Structure 1
Amino acid sequence: MTNSTETTPDEPQIISGLRNPERAVRGLAAGTLVLEGITLLLAIQPVRMLGGSTAAVVTVAVTAVVAFLLSGMMGRRWAWHVASALQVVLVGAIALNWAIATVGVIFGLVWIYVLRVRKRILG
């Protein structure tokens, strides 16, 4: 009697049990980037009230737009790298305003989690 979880050499091993694991991971990443973009748009006024310069406000607005654009491009391999770089840019924006860096740290940690889920599901 054979175990039903064993696979033959020519049969691919399903790691996650999802019907379309790549699509699920892309959806997770896209959803995270949309939430990040919304958060950044909502952060414009607090950044202004905390003494943020025009450069800080422009940085927040541009990174929000980039997050929204990337959310639709997660099917491309390079988009994962650009989204990771976006988190680094936000943390590096501490030179402009500490509030931007705080959002960057929070979403940077969330992005690390997304990358770990991607690695676990896709192998």
Structure 2
Amino acid sequence: MTEPAPKENGAATPRSGLKNPQAAVRGLGAGTLVLEAIVLLLAIQPIRIMGGHLSGWGVGAVVGLAVLAALLAGMMKRRWAWAAGTVLQVLLIACGLLHWSLAVLGLIFGAAWAYAGYVRKTILG
């Protein structure tokens, strides 16, 4: 059996030991999304140079997803932001139809997002 969290001033302290676990989890989600936005923007030119035949629509889709990721990073206080981040990962995987490397990036960042969700569930319950 586990012991309940010790009480401080009548309120239970978080089990994680963090002073503000919600802010920590928001920071993890925001950091993941910012990193994704940067990688997406940096991936455009190598895909084009390496014979990737990424069309104007493909470049536009990648830039749009990067902007969406950056916007979501700033909105992590909203309840729907985590679900929107999941949709973003699915859209990135779907962009694999434009170029296979985008699907690979989608799988990598989808796994990172799933891990961030696991950490969120573990810390916040």
- TM above 0.5, yes or no, is yes
- 2:96 aligned residue (94, 102, 114): 94
> What residue in structure 2 maps to residue 16 of structure 1?
16
Q: Any gaps of 5 or more consecutive residues in structure 2? A: none
Number of equivalenced pairs: 119
> What residue in structure 2 maps to residue 113 of structure 1?
115
TM-aligned CA deviation for residue 14 of structure 1:
2.2
The residue type equivalent to 1:59 in the other structure is: A
What SS does the corresponding residue of 1:76 show, helix, strand or coil?
coil
The question of 1:30 aligning with 2:26 is answered no
Question: Could you tell me the TM-score, scaled by structure 1's length?
Answer: 0.89
What SS does the corresponding residue of 2:12 show, helix, strand or coil?
coil
The residue type equivalent to 2:27 in the other structure is: G
The residue type equivalent to 2:77 in the other structure is: G
- Separation in 1 of the partners of 2:97 and 2:90? 13
Matches within 5 A, 1:33-112: 33-49=33-49, 50-112=52-114
TM-aligned CA deviation for residue 55 of structure 1:
1.4
Contact 2:22 2:124 in 1 (8 A): yes
What SS does the corresponding residue of 1:43 show, helix, strand or coil?
helix
RMSD after superposition: 1.8
- Separation in 1 of the partners of 2:59 and 2:47? 7
Overall identity of the aligned pairs, in %:
51
